[in-house]
Chain A
Amino acid sequence: MTDKTVLNATHRALGARMVDFGGWDMPINYGSQIEEHHAVRRDAGMFDVSHMTVVDLHGARTRDFLRHLLANSVDKLKVHGKALYSCMLDEQGGVIDDLIVYFFDDSHYRVVVNAATRAKDLAWIEKQAAPFGVEVKERPDYAMIAVQGPNARGKVLDLLHAEDRPRIEKLGKFAAAAAQGPGGMPLFVARTGYTGEDGFEILVPEEKAVALWEALAAAGVRPAGLGARDTLRLEAGMNLYGQDMDETVSPWEANLGWTIVLDEGRDFIGRAALEKQKAEGVKRVMVGLVLDEKGVLRHGQKVLTANGEGEILSGSFAPTLEKAVAFARIPAGEPGDIRVDIRGREVPVRRVKYPFVRDGKPCEGI
């Protein structure tokens, strides 16, 4: 059984090529993935991300619950609407999912988790929430549209109620607020994204989503598919759950150490395992690779290093760079000359610090 977002007919009318994505019938592109990629880097593009799972958490002990559930610390969230990226770990320190949590007040938070992991995540969150008396309420009544690119914010702001505009214009990165959209539709506007560009991710009541999409299209925002979303986030150095990390991988091994807060006295799930790994030394690391010659790095290719074999996690042709880049997980230690087995050919690659692209431009050394 394939799920459809409320924008499904809109995508089909635009001639989108549809694919199954984690059980959802989603647009991979509307013609050219590369042109959609460039539209986001240079102007403004929009993605239907309504397949993502929005969950509201209510209850007096919600803050305590999230301090236990998440490896990042919600204690960083002090202002209404502020957002935080975090991993949700199991007891072994493996990554169940990555998510964004929004703070409203100590008894009300909102989390947005991945679509493909929905059932697993909800079961885990509900199980962990019960002892805290926290209510876990999925919000399928929301659709979600990500509007991204250097001109994305401007185009969204133009569509907002005049009274809301200055406030949303001043919204800081990783913060969200309510605003009225076209015809007074109630929006939840977050200055977040998954492309390495500025922009908003907008929650909109399902029945208003088509009208919002059409208003954005009329304002010159170009529809972009999940194909472009994938190359944009890879260039931006952002992990994809299921490809770059899963339960068999700890955040240390997925370059997500920056999201781990080992603050005093906070007993979050997976903490003991993470501390043990750190003390013993992490055996695998995630690195960025660039292929300077022709060819494409792809998921599953073998990576050869002085310390043994690794593998390509996310890999693709990067349209902004016009060459292939990848994340790879390799044995820890000085890797020497790194090569990748591309269809039986050993091809030299360069290890680089990523992100590969930020704010429309290649990063230094890429």
Chain B
Amino acid sequence: MSEIPGDLKFLKSHEWARVEDDGLVRVGISDHAQGQLGDLVYVELPEVGASVQAGNGAVVLESVKAASDIYSPVSGEVVEVNEALSDKPEIINEDAYGDGWIFTVRMSDRAELDELLDADAYAELIENEDH
């Protein structure tokens, strides 16, 4: 299990959000989540310009095992998607917190960030899930 970066905020459903220097929010799934899903084979990315709602499905990840909805941690407009995932979804398996990011959002309500778990709280959540 790789270390959970301290600057990330999490949904209980294992998506992470990172506020970048330019104010955009980068979104991905946790290393724990990629491990649970297993080898990813297909990513259905949102359209650039699409609007996403906090806690609503924005992406579909298909692993060998199952299809999973990925929820957006914050509301706003999709600014960029990680096109590299179209050909190599396994990047998420290899580097969930780095190159495996999925999309970035221009947030419409900064207060939503306060609703998210910090890294310690998320670590505790998955710790409890494992027992």
Chain A residues engaging chain B, CB cutoff 8 angstroms: 17, 28-29, 32-34, 227, 231, 294-296, 298, 316-317, 319, 343
Contact = CB atoms under 8 A, between A and B. Distances in A.
Given A32-B93, A227-B65, A317-B64, A295 B42 contact: yes
A4 B67 CA distance: 29
B35 A296 contact: no
Contacts of B35: 17
A296 B43 CA distance: 11
B62 interface: yes
Nearest to B93: A32
B64 A231 contact: yes
A33 B38 contact: yes
Contact of B42 (A17, A227, A296): A296
A356 B42 CA distance: 20
B64 A343 contact: no
A360 to B, nearest CB: 19
Contacts of A317: 41-42, 62, 64
B62 A295 contact: yes
B42 A29 contact: no
Nearest to B42: A294
Q: List the 3 closest pairs (A to B, CB-CB), nearest first.
A: A317-B41, A34-B39, A296-B62
A20 to B, nearest CB: 14
Given A28-B65, A317-B62, A317-B64, 16 more contacts: A28-B38, A32-B38, A33-B39, A33-B64, A34-B39, A227-B64, A231-B64, A294-B42, A295-B42, A295-B62, A296-B42, A296-B67, A298-B67, A317-B41, A317-B42, A319-B64
A28 B66 CA distance: 13
B60 interface: yes
A316 B64 contact: yes
Contacts of A319: 64
Nearest to B36: A17
6 contacts: A32-B38, A34-B39, A34-B41, A34-B64, A227-B38, A319-B64
A17 B65 CA distance: 13
B123 to A, nearest CB: 19
B103 to A, nearest CB: 18
Contacts of A295: 42, 62
Interface in B1-48: 35, 38-39, 41-42
A53 to B, nearest CB: 25
